[in-house]
């Protein structure tokens, strides 16, 4: 399997081209570990030099980025959509509005969208933005999975349980969510793949 970037879009009138395959969207505030998770998720399945951009400064992803996972015959199999992070500190008001419009436009209109994955940092209390994103996905009828990122950063089991419970309650999640993932240790990556594939087969 390979992965290629189809393109980056930051215009609310222009959606990425249709590949005719199911798509999965990744959302979360900037610096939550979205690019790292995308890279880790695809690293096992994909032989390719294409990588989602991992930023040192928050806000590296400021456009709707579409990646295609394709087979040996270069047939598209699955689309991964890296949506712009929210909670940017450094963007101007106008840029922020454009970024939000592009993401909303994609989420609201994309028939291929099978699953929205919201990333939250396991060490943080979910923000108002996180809750708003969940509510928007719910309203649009998009199936949702929530993952807690950077779980390798917490070594105490008690602390981990406490944070998971906090996130679960703050976001009103079903039991068993969020799923714990780490792009460093690979925790949860197989489970996340299973969730992705189940959503796309449904
Ligand atoms: P994005 O802005 O959401 O795309 O976040 P990035 O993937 O660029 O990651 C932001 C920062 O967090 C980078 O310095 C990453 O190296 C770090 N990071 C991302 N995922 C993990 C993780 O699972 N564990 C640890 N320890 N650090 C991570």
Q: Which of 114, 169, 132, 143 is nearest to 29 (CA)?
A: 132
Q: Which of 14, 110, 19 is nearest to 63 (CA)?
A: 14
**CA dist., res. 70 & res. 27, Å (int):** 22
Name the average pLDDT for the chain: 87
Residue 112 has pLDDT above 80, yes or no: yes
Strand (E) or helix (H) holding 133: helix 128-139
pLDDT on residue 57: 47
Residue 114 has pLDDT above 70, yes or no: yes
Give the range with max mean pLDDT: 2-6, 10-14, 145-149. Answer: 145-149
Q: Which of 198, 191, 143, 184 is nearest to 37 (CA)?
A: 184
Which of 34, 51, 54, when mutated, tests ligand 1's pocket best, judged by the most ligand atoms within 8 Å of its CB?
A: 54
The CB of 36 under 6 Å from ligand 1? The reply is yes
pLDDT digits (tens, 9 = 90+) for 27-62: 998 889 998 999 999 886 666 556 666 554 444 557
pLDDT on residue 54: 58
Give residue 189's region: left, alpha or beta (phi > 0; psi -120 to 50).
Answer: alpha
pLDDT on residue 58: 45
Atom 18 in ligand 1: residue holding the nearest Cα: 33
Q: Which atom of ligand 1 has the smallest separation from the CA of 54?
A: 8
Please answer whether residues 153 and 126 qualify as being in contact, where contact means their C-beta atoms are separated by less than 8 angstroms: no
Atom 21 in ligand 1: residue holding the nearest Cα: 150
- If DSSP codes are grouped into helix, strand and coil, which group holds residue 37? helix
CB hemisphere CA count around 72 (13 angstroms): 0
Low-confidence winner among 91-100, 139-148, 159-168 (lowest mean pLDDT): 91-100
Q: Which residues contact 193 (CB under 8 A, 6 or more apart)?
A: 41, 45
The CB of 152 under 6 Å from ligand 1? The reply is yes
pLDDT band, very low/low/confident/very high, at 21 (cuts 50, 70, 90): very high
The CB of 79 under 6 Å from ligand 1? The reply is no
Domains in the chain, please, with CATH? 2-201 (3.40.50.300)
pLDDT digits (tens, 9 = 90+) for 89-100: 566 777 777 777
Strand (E) or helix (H) holding 166: helix 157-171
What is the Å distance from ligand 1's center to 15 Cα? 27
Atom 5 in ligand 1: residue holding the nearest Cα: 33
Which of 31, 35, 36, when mutated, tests ligand 1's pocket best, judged by the most ligand atoms within 8 Å of its CB?
A: 36
């Amino acid at each position: 399997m390979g992965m290629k970037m189809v393109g980056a879009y930051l215009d609310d009138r222009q959606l990425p081209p249709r590949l005719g395959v199911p798509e999965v969207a990744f959302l979360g505030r900037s610096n939550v570990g979205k690019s790292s998770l995308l890279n880790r998720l695809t690293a096992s399945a994909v032989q390719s030099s294409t990588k989602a951009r991992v930023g040192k400064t928050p806000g590296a992803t400021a456009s709707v980025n579409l990646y295609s996972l394709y087979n040996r015959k270069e047939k598209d199999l699955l689309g991964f959509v890296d949506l712009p992070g929210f909670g940017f500190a450094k963007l101007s008001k106008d840029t922020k509005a454009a970024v939000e419009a592009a993401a909303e436009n994609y989420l609201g209109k994309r028939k291929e969208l099978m699953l929205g994955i919201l990333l939250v940092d396991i060490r943080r209390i979910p923000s108002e933005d996180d809750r708003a994103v969940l509510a928007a996905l719910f309203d649009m009828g998009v199936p949702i999975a929530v993952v807690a990122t950077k779980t390798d950063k917490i070594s105490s089991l008690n602390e981990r349980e406490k944070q998971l419970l906090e996130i679960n309650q703050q976001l009103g999640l079903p039991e068993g969510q969020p799923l714990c993932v780490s792009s460093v240790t690979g925790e949860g990556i197989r489970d996340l793949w299973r969730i992705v594939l189940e959503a796309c087969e449904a």
